Amino acid sequence: MKQRKVIIIVTLALLFLILLFCLLSYLDFLKIKGGKQLEAPVNSNIDIESLLIQDEFIGRKWKLVETDNSRSNYALLQSVGAFAAKMYEPVYIHTAWGKGMIYQEVLQARDTYAAWVLFDRPLKDSNQKWVEKEENFVEMEHHADQWYLSCADIHLDRRDCSLMARYSNIVVFLSSSFYADEFSQEKFLDLVKFIDETAGELGLYEP
CATH number at residue 122: 3.40.1000.70
Q: Which helix (H) or strand (E) element contains residue 178?
A: strand 170-178
Q: Bigger pLDDT: 128 or 133?
A: 133
Same domain (yes/no): 86, 180: yes
Same domain (yes/no): 194, 167: yes
3-state SS class at 177: strand
* Residues near 132 by beta carbon (within 8 Å), at least 6 away in sequence: 123, 148, 150
Q: What's the average model confidence in pLDDT over 29-44? A: 48
Beta carbons within 10 angstroms of residue 61's beta carbon: 15
Q: Which of 137, 200, 126, 201 is nearest to 163 (CA)?
A: 137
Which range of residues forms the domain containing residue 17?
Answer: 1-37
Contact present, 183 and 61 (Cβ < 8 Å): yes
Same domain (yes/no): 16, 113: no
Same domain (yes/no): 185, 115: yes
Out of 6-20, 46-60, 92-106, 123-137, the most confident range is 46-60
pLDDT of residue 67: 77
Same domain (yes/no): 175, 75: yes
Grade residue 170 by pLDDT with cuts at 50, 70 and 90: very high
* Residues near 171 by beta carbon (within 8 Å), at least 6 away in sequence: 105, 106, 107, 109, 115, 118, 119, 164, 165
Same domain (yes/no): 12, 108: no
Same domain (yes/no): 78, 120: yes
* Terminal alpha carbon distance of the chain: 66
Same domain (yes/no): 18, 119: no
Same domain (yes/no): 196, 108: yes
- Interatomic CA distance for residues 180 and 205, integer angstroms: 34
Q: How does pLDDT run across 41-98, given as a tens digit for each residue? A: 566 678 999 999 998 888 888 999 987 655 566 666 778 888 899 999 988 876 555 6
Number of domains in the chain: 2
Same domain (yes/no): 129, 60: yes
Residue type, 26: Y
Grade residue 127 by pLDDT with cuts at 50, 70 and 90: low
Same domain (yes/no): 3, 100: no
Q: Is the pLDDT of residue 146 over 90?
A: yes
Q: Is residue 207 part of a domain?
A: no
Q: What's the average model confidence in pLDDT over 100-127? A: 80
Q: Is residue 92 part of a domain?
A: yes
Same domain (yes/no): 84, 53: yes
